[in-house]
Amino acid sequence: MFPGPPHRVVHLELRTGNAARASAFHAELFGWSIETVRTEGEPYLAVDLGGRVGGGIVEHETPRPFWLPYVEVADVDVSVARAEALGAQVLLPPREGPAGWRSVVAAPFAGVVALWQPRRGI
């Protein structure tokens, strides 16, 4: 059993082969506002989902679009080790970004999830 309070989903990111069409679809269907954010790499489409959970759209070569939930954790390295012990495979090892650390893990019986450790004090 997990020790402590449950961790919350803090971000949903759509991975799709056509970010322009996906963003137009979601803006028209749900009224979500979408803003292009310049990053070091490819542009990132930030999505206002209308609530406490943030969102984004990333153009990503994939056979089908999928939503990737980001779950906030206290320590990404500890959480990755725990995920591996529970049978998950690490798809993206922990890496630092401008606002914190992230990793992506997957288990055939549980799907794909991103682990997010925010940088404190920013």
pLDDT of res. 60: 86
CATH number of residue 103's parent domain: 3.10.180.10
**Mean of the pLDDT values across residues 10-14?**
95
Same domain, 83 and 45: no
SS3 (DSSP) at 15? strand
Query: How many distinct structural domains can be found in the chain?
Result: 2
Q: Residue 55's beta-bridge partner residues?
A: 12, 47
**Mean of the pLDDT values across residues 39-68?**
89
In whole angstroms, give the CA distance from residue 86 to residue 104: 14
Domain-ending residue, one of 21, 38, 67: 67
pTM: 0.88
pLDDT of res. 99: 86
pLDDT of res. 64: 93
Examine residue 2 and state whether it is found in any structural domain, yes or no.
no
| Residue range 62-113, pLDDT digits in tens | 999 999 999 999 999 999 999 999 999 999 999 998 889 999 999 989 899 9
Tokens describing residue 16: 């799709």
Same domain, 16 and 63: yes
Of 42 and 51, more confident: 51
Mean pLDDT of the chain: 91
In whole angstroms, give the CA distance from residue 80 to residue 114: 10
* Phi/psi of residue 83, nearest 5 degrees: -60, -45
